[in-house]
Structure formats: structure tokens, C-alpha cells
């Protein structure tokens, strides 16, 4: 579903802000190659730009996401689209055993966590069935070429009773916060990205929210992938969102 802009709505009502250059949104193999090359390009300054664009809140949201897994110490957790390793470091600090996978070789080269890493497409994970107790994924749902097969693969590799915790962008419901968020995310962030890293990549970022399925669609997709107890909640007033679910079946 995420391989093309959705005409059926998104998780939040993302609208363009004047002054932002529109970015053509690709699909299929073109999107896969764009995402791969884009993250290769921004890897060296990815962490710096992330901290600036979220005022450091992204690390707080990641810690909330790891706590929401509710897994015992020693559990094996896949961090999908692991990037430079922010999630992995938090998983390690929580006593969990993370391994990371990412499409971008540049991101993996910048990942110095010491965890096992592999380059992989989310739709074809090189893992056996029920291999892990949990999966984390930070701000990558909209970057997968086709989200349905990715969620199916997550369902395949998570054992019954296991947990997933997915972070994505969102928009505040409060009118004042919403207005400020739209200006920041759609006008200021692309300029910060252009100044410190790669301009086209950070112009793509706000536009890529069009790939997100609606909350109803995402719940249905997770159900089809074998998950129950799906819960979506806003973080920090709706600046981000956390989606958790449990793999159906007996442990």
C-alpha cells in the first residue's frame, strides 16, 4: 500500500504548506532505489539533523517505544530499518538482544553499535520463521516500497506472543500545535536538511507522509499479518505516534 500515494486518507491530515517545493513521489523499484540512495547520502549527518528537527524528542519517543514492547531481558529483537543505531542502543541499555537490518549500506556503515547487522529489504527478511521475540521500527513505514509484504514478513519472523513497536510521524490535534508543526515540518525542516545534509532528501521527507495508510487501514493490515491487540497512541501531543501489537498464537 505504501508504494504509491494513498487517495484513501493517511494516518493524519497532512496538507502542503506554501513555500515548500513539491516532490514527485515514486513507486515500485524507482521508490526502492530512491530510498536506498537517499539514506546512503544522508547517513553521515543523519543523527545531527534528527536531533535538531525533533529537539531531541526522537530519543525520548524511542525509549517509550522500547518500554512498550514489554519483553523480558535477553529477548531477541529485530530493529528493522535500523539506520545508524539509535533504537539498537536503547534496546541494548534495556537488556534486550538487538540485531539490525536496513536497506541502506551507508546507514549500516555509520552504525557502530556492535550489534549484528545485515543489509536487507523489509519485504524479504533473511530470517527463519518465529526467529525473534520482538520488532522495532522507527519512522520507516512510509519508506517501504510496499508496506503490506513488509508487515507480512514481520509477522512471519515474530514468534507467537511476541511484540512489535512501530514509531511514525503524526500531526497534533490541537489547532495551535498543528499550525506550528506544519510550518516547522514542511518549511523549516527541509531548509535545515539542505543546510546541513542533503536538500532533496529533506524535501522528500514531509511529502512522504502521503504514503502512510490510514489508522483503519494499518490496523487491518496488521491483523492480516497475524497481529492482534493493535494499539495506536499519539506521543507528545501528536508530534509522533506509537503503534504496538502482539503476534497471535500460543508462545
Confidence class for position 104, pLDDT limits 50, 70, 90: very high
Residues with Cβ within 8 Å of 239's Cβ and at least 6 positions away in sequence, in order, are: 54, 57, 170, 172, 177, 181
Half-sphere exposure in the Cβ direction for 158 (13 Å, CA): 31
Task: Report the pLDDT value the prediction gives residue 174, as an integer from 0 to 100.
Answer: 82
Task: Report the pLDDT value the prediction gives residue 202, as an integer from 0 to 100.
Answer: 86
Domains of the chain: 28-173+213-247 (3.40.50.150)
> What value does the mean pLDDT of the chain take?
88
* Integer Cα distance of 47 and 50 in angstroms: 5
Task: Report the pLDDT value the prediction gives residue 37, as an integer from 0 to 100.
Answer: 94
Can you say whether residue 169 is alpha, beta or left, with left for phi > 0 and alpha for psi between -120 and 50 degrees? beta
Cell of 57: 524528542
State the pTM of this model: 0.87
Question: Which among 50, 243, 27, 59 is positioned nearest to 141, based on CA atoms?
Answer: 243
Q: Between these two residues, 23 and 133, which has the higher pLDDT value?
A: 133
The model's pLDDT over 8-57, given as tens digits with 9 standing for 90+, comes to: 333 333 343 333 344 568 999 999 999 999 999 999 888 888 888 888 89
Angle between helices 189-196 and 46-54 (to 10 degrees): 150
Task: Report the pLDDT value the prediction gives residue 176, as an integer from 0 to 100.
Answer: 82
Q: Is the pLDDT of residue 179 over 50?
A: yes
The model's pLDDT over 192-235, given as tens digits with 9 standing for 90+, comes to: 888 878 888 888 888 898 899 999 999 999 999 999 999 999 99
Cell of 213: 495508510
* Beta carbons of 132 and 69 less than 8 angstroms apart: no
Helix-strand-coil percent breakdown of the chain, rounded to 5?
Answer: 45, 20, 35
Confidence class for position 149, pLDDT limits 50, 70, 90: very high
* Integer Cα distance of 17 and 21 in angstroms: 9
Q: Between these two residues, 178 and 30, which has the higher pLDDT value?
A: 30
The model's pLDDT over 111-130, given as tens digits with 9 standing for 90+, comes to: 999 999 999 999 999 999 99
* Integer Cα distance of 242 and 13 in angstroms: 17
Amino acid at each position: 500500500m505504501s508504494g504509491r500515494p494513498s487517495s484513501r486518507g493517511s494516518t493524519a491530515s497532512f496538507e502542503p504548506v506554501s513555500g515548500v517545493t513539491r516532490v514527485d513521489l515514486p513507486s515500485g523499484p524507482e521508490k526502492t532505489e530512491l530510498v536506498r540512495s537517499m539514506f546512503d547520502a544522508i547517513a553521515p549527518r543523519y543523527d545531527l539533523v534528527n536531533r535538531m528537527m525533533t529537539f531531541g524528542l526522537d530519543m525520548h519517543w524511542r525509549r517509550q517505544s522500547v518500554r512498550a514492547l514489554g519483553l523480558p531481558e535477553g529477548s531477541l529483537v529485530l530493529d528493522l530499518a535500523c539506520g545508524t543505531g539509535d533504537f539498537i542502543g536503547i534496546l541494548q541499555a534495556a537488556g534486550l538482544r538487538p540485531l539490525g537490518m536496513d536497506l541502506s549500506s551507508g546507514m549500516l556503515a555509520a552504525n557502530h553499535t556492535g550489534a549484528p547487522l545485515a543489509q536487507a529489504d523489509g519485504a524479504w527478511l533473511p530470517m527463519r520463521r518465529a526467529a525473534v521475540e520482538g520488532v522495532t521500527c522507527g519512522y520507516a513505514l512510509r519508506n517501504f516500497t510496499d508496506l503490506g509484504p513488509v508487515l507480512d514478513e514481520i509477522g512471519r519472523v515474530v514468534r507467537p506472543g511476541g511484540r512489535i513497536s512501530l514509531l511514525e510521524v503524526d500531526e497534533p490535534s490541537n489547532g495551535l500545535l498543528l499550525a506550528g508543526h506544519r510550518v516547522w515540518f514542511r518549511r523549516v525542516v527541509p531548509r535545515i536538511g539542505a543546510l546541513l545534509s542533503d536538500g532533496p532528501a529533506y524535501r522528500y521527507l514531509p511529502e512522504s507522509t502521503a504514503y502512510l495508510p490510514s489508522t483503519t487501514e494499518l490496523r487491518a493490515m496488521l491483523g492480516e499479518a497475524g497481529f492482534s491487540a493493535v494499539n495506536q497512541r499519539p506521543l507528545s501531543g501528536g508530534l509522533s505516534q506509537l503503534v504496538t501489537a502482539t503476534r497471535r498464537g500460543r508462545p
